[in-house]
Amino acid sequence: MKVQIESKRENPLLERTEVQFSAEHAGEPTPTRDAVRTAIASVLGAPKERVIIDNMETEYGKGVSVGYAKAYASNEALQKTERRYILVRHGLAEKKTKAKAAVKPRAAPKAK
């Protein structure tokens, strides 16, 4: 897999670098988010834990995936800005589980 940065933009307000990328994977299946995160992190020189793949799409029959990624300057900026489900998707936060409500036993129907 070969990752190429199509456009790069600095966003100092949110302390991140935003990139449009294309990943060539001819003859291979669509790469995983984790593999693309690793490749983008190496290209940008950022730690993998601070790279977020926002979206990634592959057209049928083409060996190229295109997408949008963000590389944060610090973990604090990442935790402050990103939505929780995105952090869970990237393995940076634990999924919250809802506690099940206690089931009340049903009263037996009254005989007439």
What pLDDT score does 52 carry? 95
Query: What H or E segment, with its residue span, contains residue 44?
Result: helix 33-44
Domains of the chain: 2-89 (3.30.70.330)
- Helix, strand, coil share of the chain (percent; to 5): 25, 30, 45
What pLDDT score does 70 carry? 96
Chain-centroid distance of CA 80 in Å reads 15
Residue 55: which of 34, 37, 39, 69 has the closest Cα? 69
- How far apart are alpha carbons 1 and 15 in whole angstroms? 28
Residues of the chain scoring pLDDT < 70: none
